[in-house]
Amino acid sequence: MAVLVIAEHDNASLKDATHKTVTAAAKMGGDIDVLVAGKGIKDVMAAAAKIDGVRAVLGVDHDSLERQLAEAMEVVVVGLMDGYDAVLSPDTTTHKNYMPRVAAKLDVQQISSVTGVESADTFVRPIYAGNAMATVQSTDAKKVVTVRTTAFAAAGEGGSASASDSAANIGDLKSEFVSEELTKSDRPELTAAKTVISGGRGMGSGENFKLLEGIADKLGAAMGASRAAVDAGFVPNDWQVGQTGKSVAPELYIAVGISGAIQHLAGMKDSKVIAAINKDEDAPIFSVADYGLVADLFKALPEFEAELEKAGV
Amino acid sequence: MKVLVPVKRVLDYNVKARVKPDQSGVDLSNVKMSMNPFDEIAVEEAVRLQEAGTATETIVVSIGPAKAQETIRTGLAMGMDRGVHVQTDDDLEPLAVAKILKAVAEAEGADLVITGKQAIDNDYGSTGGMLAALLDWPIGSAANSMSKDGDALTVVKEVDGGLQTVKLQMPALVTTDLRLNEPRYASLPNIMKAKRKPIEAKTPADYGVDTTPRLKTLKVTEPAAREAGIKVEDAAALVDKLKNEAGVL
């Protein structure tokens, strides 16, 4: 049995989500190869070759793969699947974009956002925004799986897999990349941060998110938000934590002015420690928080920042 | 331009899913069901395209039990022209759904299909991508905004790092994200009018699609519960607990 893992990267560096997907693949058993599809990917391939448990790294370098366009990725992955029994990718937006195309072309039912791997054909996945967990067994000859990476530990680095270039047979595409508007930030990436501080509708405005910045700076935290705060236009969409946004599982998650709607909890309840600040003592967020502070956030946040300072954080 | 919008009848997003005691699935008896919220956004976008004169005809399709007709009526009340109901009592997987939708899109000669980016019941998030691949159409996933310019469709997508813009040749498929628009409420006159709009009755067999499931659900369980912790007095106590008890500062 052979499993193909698709790397998460930005053409310059390999992302941790790849290591976590390798861990999920290892639970299926068999040989693991990593596909790096992109443009100018030598460094990424070298990094992937170091992941423990990887047999080989395949690199496909092509202009249309710089942004991993859905149609181009479909062609590359489907073209490789003769040699594999399963293909796994992280469940980030990049891969969610083309994995269903791969599954359809292989005539396979995709198994999305798995949080557990029981065997080579049996997986656990959240349904209904994480309010239920389904254990499903695939009867398809090949498995197409996306992985909720927060549910898996990262594979180590000490391996020395072989790395080789593979040709891309990408013809004319019906789509093209136009532009990208990426949020610039010196803070850690939301899904990889050790600490996350998120604001909700209770923040009242985008301006008030400044109250979280000083705390985020002190803690080296990434900043996130609830769907309500994003929908209200306080912060950009890519800050959204929840079932329809990003899933995070940091060491510490601080929820400020977030009531704790089911769909938000689905995206953060795997955090190791959860702290919540909310003025409504009946807010559902307190039912999952390890430490709850019932207080007006406009008073509590400056105090919290000052106390962090005092504690030498 | 003909626009096709598939919609799914799902457990209402305000209702908490309850797992059946025999672990066979989620209990859907006597609970409120609604149109999948992402599909509502897709319907709204199609109706706006028609109001702007960009779309010439808008068709809403649902695959599901007899009651899926209600969901189609909701789409018609929001402004869609007519409906197609592919009736089945089976809970079809996205692959089978995509195969049926491909046949519907071809039969209708659709130029644009708008789907929700995921259904909030099974959370596969794969029907749109599968349908695009089966049709060999380009896809704009998780759309934040979209505009048609001649034979091309420009889609601004929500991606993990921010926003990405792609240009698609028509025909094309777009999946909706939350910020694409705010769906309207159907007015009473429009709800009445929708009752007279035609809904064509079909079955999966009409399209020759094999809907045998590929996945076997072995069990459905409650997620591991997280215990509520303690309330602290003030910010100082919170910092103390996080630093000295939890050790995460």
Per-residue pLDDT of A181-238, as tens digits, reads: 988 888 998 988 999 999 999 999 999 999 999 999 999 999 999 999 999 999 998 8
A138 with A230, same domain: the answer is no
pTM attached to this predicted model: 0.92
pLDDT at B16 over 90: no
A52 with A116, same domain: the answer is yes
Is A132 within 8 Å of B19 when comparing Cβ atoms?
yes
pLDDT average, residue stretch A118-147? 96
Number of domains chain A contains:
2
Q: Which of A148, A165, A182 is the last residue of a domain?
A: A165
pLDDT at A14 over 90: yes
Is A104 within 8 Å of B242 when comparing Cβ atoms?
no
Query: CATH no. for residue B58?
Result: 3.40.50.620
Give the domain extent around B130. Answer: 2-245
Residue A206 domain-assigned (yes or no): yes
Is A132 within 8 Å of B221 when comparing Cβ atoms?
yes
Which residue reads 């018609």 in tokens? B76
Strand bridging mode B215-221 / B152-159: unpaired
Banded model confidence at residue A288, pLDDT cuts 50, 70, 90: very high
pLDDT at B201 over 90: yes
From the centroid of its chain, how far is CA B164? 21
Residue A187 domain-assigned (yes or no): no
Q: Which positions in chain B touch A269 (Cβ < 8 Å)?
A: 223, 226
Chain A nearest CA to B167, separation (Å): 5
Closest chain A CA to residue B19: A132
Banded model confidence at residue B192, pLDDT cuts 50, 70, 90: very high
pLDDT average, residue stretch A298-303? 97
Chain B nearest CA to A160, separation (Å): 30
Would you tell me the crossing angle of helices A297-310 and A210-219 to the nearest 10 degrees? 20
Contact status of A69 with chain B (Cβ, < 8 Å): yes
A251 with A208, same domain: the answer is yes
A297 with A215, same domain: the answer is yes
Query: CATH no. for residue A135?
Result: 3.40.50.620
A138 with A11, same domain: the answer is yes
Number of domains chain B contains:
1
Strand bridging mode A195-199 / A162-165: unpaired
pLDDT at A169 over 90: no
Please give the pLDDT value at position A167.
82
Banded model confidence at residue A86, pLDDT cuts 50, 70, 90: very high
Q: Which positions in chain A touch B154 (Cβ < 8 Å)?
A: 178
Which residue from B70, B66, B130, B59 is spatially nearest to B94, judged by alpha carbons? B130
Please give the pLDDT value at position B133.
98
Residue A173 domain-assigned (yes or no): no
pLDDT at B224 over 90: no
A149 with A22, same domain: the answer is yes
A115 with A229, same domain: the answer is no
A209 with A150, same domain: the answer is no
Please give the pLDDT value at position B219.
97
A160 with A206, same domain: the answer is no
Please give the pLDDT value at position A202.
97
A159 with A200, same domain: the answer is no
Residue A178 domain-assigned (yes or no): no
C-alpha B120/C-alpha B34 separation (Å) is 11
Give the domain extent around A120. Answer: 2-165
Please give the pLDDT value at position A247.
86
Residue A170 domain-assigned (yes or no): no
Is B126 within 8 Å of A236 when comparing Cβ atoms?
no
Please give the pLDDT value at position A262.
83
Banded model confidence at residue A111, pLDDT cuts 50, 70, 90: very high
For A228-262, the pLDDT digits (tens) are: 999 999 999 889 999 778 889 999 999 999 999 98
Q: Which of B159, B164, B248 has the CB atom closest to A252's CB atom?
A: B248
A210 with A73, same domain: the answer is no
A118 with A228, same domain: the answer is no
Please give the pLDDT value at position A130.
86
pLDDT at B228 over 90: no
Q: Which positions in chain A touch B129 (Cβ < 8 Å)?
A: 70, 96-101, 103-104
